[in-house]
Structure 1
Amino acid sequence: MSLRIRRNPRLERIRRNRLHPEHEALVAATVSAIGPTGLRRINPHQTGFVMVQGRKRLNRLNPGGVGFATAGQPGRGQAKEKPLHRVADPVGYVAAVLDLPGGRLSSHDRDVLGLAQQLAQVKDEPHAVLAIALGDVRETDFGGAGADRVIQLSQLHNEALTGYCPELKLAILNATEQHYQPAFWLFPDSIDGGADLGSRWAVQLGDRAAVQAWHVSTENTVCRGGSQLTDWHRPTPRVLLLAPECAAPVEELRHEALPLELALPGPVSVTIEDLGPVSVDPSQIALSEAEFILAAGNGVRNWDQFHQVATVLGATEGASRVAVDDGYMPRHRQVGASGTWVSARVYLAAGISGAIQHLQGIGQCETVIAINLDAGCDMVRRADLTVIADSEAVFAELLNLMTARQTGIAPQGGTAHEGEARHVA
């Protein structure tokens, strides 16, 4: 009788399908990885964890761990806590003024904090990264993103720091400059406020800011220009307006994020009045700039209902290549490597199986929600939240709920067919 250990196709399928009832128990079990010749092997598919963006990362803290875990939800083979990085007595600071759209760290903010840590570690003497969070802040994990110290303010002299109030924010930055004198000031070069505030702050400091900076050292900076076709090299200034993906976000360490006290400036004469955001038709927003996208694929049959749901939710419409080729959506609404690369905060994909070109195009989306009948498709594996159901039934339920919310009348039950199985993963 041969002692050769043979493959078990059934167990391999269960390991690949995270929706299978036996998936968690199987990946949590410690299995000896022995090859056909009897030699012990390392299974790279069982070592590491999966980030929010769906990218696999090796778990360097526990190389022998098995199983993948979703970022923020450590698996049994992953260390529960990252090593704590402390800067006990910093001699200087690198300030990162964050956008915090919706009160939480965006991927752009995390890139800025990652670069701030790189600049702080290059210094000969210990420097700390100072995160400045102004306005309605809901984020609770500044330390996990790389902040050693945090200045967090929601108002100044009973004036809320929400909306467009550059004069109030500049007063706080001026007070920070007087007390802590950061070596560098980092801003996200974005439409969420970082580009405007960083430009104003550079003028106030008398410095010529580096805009769209993507490769930065303490000595030299490379900036994008000429419609992203040209690189400009220049000495690194104190004020940097950083492009997305300027640095890798902090992932392997946890920082203290200790709160700092700031002596508030005196009363500020405000001459700019914020009248609130202007209502914009989501259908007129380019896909590359949209923050909420509702995309349809081959699984959508009721296109009138799809357009109605997009209107009610205030989402920008997108589509897979199959839907565009079939003539249901215009070419400029195609999402993917062969269409438009998107970076929405929320990407809702209905009836999209998830071809590799489509998944490449949504790689920068923060939260992906999938509605699909196929629990094993690639889009379901990529999604942060999945609804296993028919898209038409889910859309009907969404319309019912939105109508109830607008009218104040409780919905009269779901519209899904009687006995229809629905599952949320």
Structure 2
Amino acid sequence: MSEIVRRDPRTEWIARNRLHPEHDAVLAQLHGGAPAAQWMGPNGIIRRNPHAVGFIGPNGIRRIDRSGAQTANAAGASRRDTAAAPARRRVQIDIPAFIIAVVADMPGGRLSAHDRDLLGLARQLADGAVQGAVLLVSFGESRDEGLAEAGVDRVVNFSGEAFDGYAPEQRLTALGGIERQHEPRHWLFPDSPLGGAELGRRFAARQGERPATQVWQIADGQCTGRGAAGTIDVTRGLRRIVLALPECAEPVSDTVHAAEAVAPPAALPQALRRIEDLGAVAVDPAGVALAEAEFILSAGNGIRDWDGFHRTARVLGATEGASRVAVDNGFMPRHRQVGATGTWVTARVYLAVGISGAIQHLQGIQQCDKVIAINTDPGCDMVKRADLSVIADSSEVLAALVELVEGVRREQRNAA
């Protein structure tokens, strides 16, 4: 037997290409088990996958892959064979030793990715030698049906005209009722511009406590947060009120909890309403910066009817984006380019039309909550990344979408 080491260039290439359909299987073959976060490259250098879940970055920050590319194949296999996926363990906590209260942003009545990270952090604090329960506090109409899968044991919802819009005094009064009724061991707020950052700081001031802000990790009774405009880490003792950043913990993925509805505290004192909310102001989606847009309709090289694309964006009320190819070809301005070489976006809905999904583009949309792809190529990387894919001609799909939306609006006008 010759001692010459035979290399397989194709296998090495698949191991380096994390978007290849056989990437996970090849890594498992190389390691004799599940795909690892690191492997030996063809030249002997250890290769590390920075997109692996739970990877610790060079500055100590825990990174979580939101692009979906690392787990796209596994997710696809799971959808094809649901029975093969292990069942989640059900957890029922009847008499908890203590309560961890989580005040979620829930934009649009649904948990955001930041909210799910916060619930994962709450489970770390609640699960231990002494079992606690996670209490979710939300305001407004709740439309999310996946609270149990997100790790919620109890749910308190405050709805009605008093809590609609911008009403910090009313919400602080409600949180005070939760404080008296349940006496939570810890309060967790999302340190986000959607309202959690302000509400958490207001609540801490009313309680006369100093909160821990910009927190991205909690371990061994210590919390680590960002300081000096995000340039350094500050470690201190865990406070009772915590404002946490996105990716502070991994979302719950292996258990299902009860998510039992709990009645709000009765006879809440009437809050003095010193702020009048005049309602939302209509904004032209074309004037919204990509980094701030919540709904983006993005065009790629597959677009042929640009007039139809612009019309669809106007009808849907979406902010227009584009791939680098569409920008280089002169169809879209440079400030509308999405990706690592353009603008990193955090939209709640990202609709990619005719975009194949270059790695730079996938990096730029990795923090989007929901990605929808319209493409004629079922094997392109954008389709693998997307939460929902439509394999069809983009012009026909956009025209049908415009017709559907305009039909619904006509019916609403006639009904009124």
TM-score tier, shorter chain, comes to 0.7 to 0.9
Match of 2:77 in 1: 68
- Cα deviation, 1:41-95, whole Å, max 9, x if unaligned, reads 8797xxxxxx994552899xxxxxx98224xx9712113x411123332221111
Would the aligned equivalents of 2:67 and 2:366 in 1 still touch at CA under 8 Å? no
Provide the secondary structure at the position in 1 that maps to 2:149: helix
- Return closer, same or farther for 1:275/1:227 CA change in 2, 3 Å cut-off: same
Equivalents in 1 of 2:200, 2:384: separation in Å? Answer: 39
Would the aligned equivalents of 2:345 and 2:367 in 1 still touch at CA under 8 Å? yes
Provide the secondary structure at the position in 1 that maps to 2:82: coil
- Return closer, same or farther for 1:400/1:196 CA change in 2, 3 Å cut-off: same
Would the aligned equivalents of 1:291 and 1:344 in 2 still touch at CA under 8 Å? yes
Would the aligned equivalents of 2:72 and 2:384 in 1 still touch at CA under 8 Å? no
Q: Aligned-pair distance for 1:173?
A: 0.7
Letter in 2 for 1:103: G
**Aligned positions of 1:224-243 closer than 5 A:** 224-243=226-245
Match of 1:97 in 2: 103
Equivalents in 2 of 1:152, 1:409: separation in Å? Answer: 29
More displaced 10-residue stretch of structure 1: 338-347 or 247-256? 338-347
Letter in 2 for 1:87: I
Q: Aligned-pair distance for 1:292?
A: 0.5
**Aligned positions of 1:91-240 closer than 5 A:** 91-122=97-128, 124-155=129-160, 159-217=161-219, 219-240=221-242
Match of 1:309 in 2: 312
Equivalents in 1 of 2:81, 2:282: separation in Å? Answer: 41
Letter in 2 for 1:205: Q
Equivalents in 1 of 2:67, 2:325: separation in Å? Answer: 27
Would the aligned equivalents of 2:67 and 2:363 in 1 still touch at CA under 8 Å? no
Equivalents in 1 of 2:278, 2:140: separation in Å? Answer: 17
Would the aligned equivalents of 2:357 and 2:381 in 1 still touch at CA under 8 Å? yes
Provide the secondary structure at the position in 1 that maps to 2:181: helix
Would the aligned equivalents of 2:104 and 2:138 in 1 still touch at CA under 8 Å? yes
- Cα deviation, 1:373-392, whole Å, max 9, x if unaligned, reads 11221212222222222222
Mapped pair 1:287 → 2:295: no
Equivalents in 2 of 1:280, 1:187: separation in Å? Answer: 28
- Return closer, same or farther for 1:405/1:58 CA change in 2, 3 Å cut-off: closer
Q: Aligned-pair distance for 1:202?
A: 1.0
Match of 2:259 in 1: 257
What is the TM-score of this pair, normalised by structure 1? 0.76
Provide the secondary structure at the position in 1 that maps to 2:126: helix
Give the share of equivalent positions with the same residue, in percent.
Answer: 49
- Return closer, same or farther for 1:57/1:280 CA change in 2, 3 Å cut-off: closer
Match of 1:420 in 2: none
Q: Aligned-pair distance for 1:406?
A: 4.1
- Return closer, same or farther for 1:161/1:111 CA change in 2, 3 Å cut-off: same
Would the aligned equivalents of 1:294 and 1:348 in 2 still touch at CA under 8 Å? yes
Would the aligned equivalents of 2:158 and 2:264 in 1 still touch at CA under 8 Å? no
Letter in 2 for 1:100: M
In the alignment, structure 1 segments of 5+ residues that lack a partner are: 1-15, 19-34, 36-40, 45-50, 60-65, 411-425
Provide the secondary structure at the position in 2 that maps to 1:68: helix
Q: Aligned-pair distance for 1:174?
A: 0.4
Match of 2:358 in 1: 355
Mapped pair 1:390 → 2:393: yes
Q: Aligned-pair distance for 1:203?
A: 0.9
- Cα deviation, 1:230-256, whole Å, max 9, x if unaligned, reads 323333222211111111000011122
Equivalents in 2 of 1:100, 1:84: separation in Å? Answer: 24
- Cα deviation, 1:276-312, whole Å, max 9, x if unaligned, reads 1122222222222211011111111232332222122
Match of 1:5 in 2: none
In the alignment, structure 2 segments of 5+ residues that lack a partner are: 1-18, 22-28, 36-65
- Cα deviation, 1:10-66, whole Å, max 9, x if unaligned, reads xxxxxx999xxxxxxxxxxxxxxxx9xxxxx8797xxxxxx994552899xxxxxx9
Letter in 1 for 2:399: A
Match of 1:83 in 2: 89
Equivalents in 1 of 2:175, 2:412: separation in Å? Answer: 47
Would the aligned equivalents of 1:67 and 1:77 in 2 still touch at CA under 8 Å? no
Match of 2:249 in 1: 247
* Total equivalences in the alignment: 357
Equivalents in 1 of 2:215, 2:385: separation in Å? Answer: 30
- Return closer, same or farther for 1:409/1:168 CA change in 2, 3 Å cut-off: closer
Q: Aligned-pair distance for 1:364?
A: 2.0
Match of 1:26 in 2: none
More displaced 10-residue stretch of structure 1: 221-230 or 186-195? 221-230
Equivalents in 1 of 2:402, 2:73: separation in Å? Answer: 42
Q: Aligned-pair distance for 1:337?
A: 2.2
Match of 2:39 in 1: none
Q: Aligned-pair distance for 1:409?
A: 10
Letter in 2 for 1:234: R
Equivalents in 1 of 2:181, 2:300: separation in Å? Answer: 55
Provide the secondary structure at the position in 1 that maps to 2:171: helix
Provide the secondary structure at the position in 1 that maps to 2:127: helix
Equivalents in 2 of 1:74, 1:168: separation in Å? Answer: 47
Equivalents in 2 of 1:404, 1:68: separation in Å? Answer: 37
Q: Aligned-pair distance for 1:273?
A: 1.9
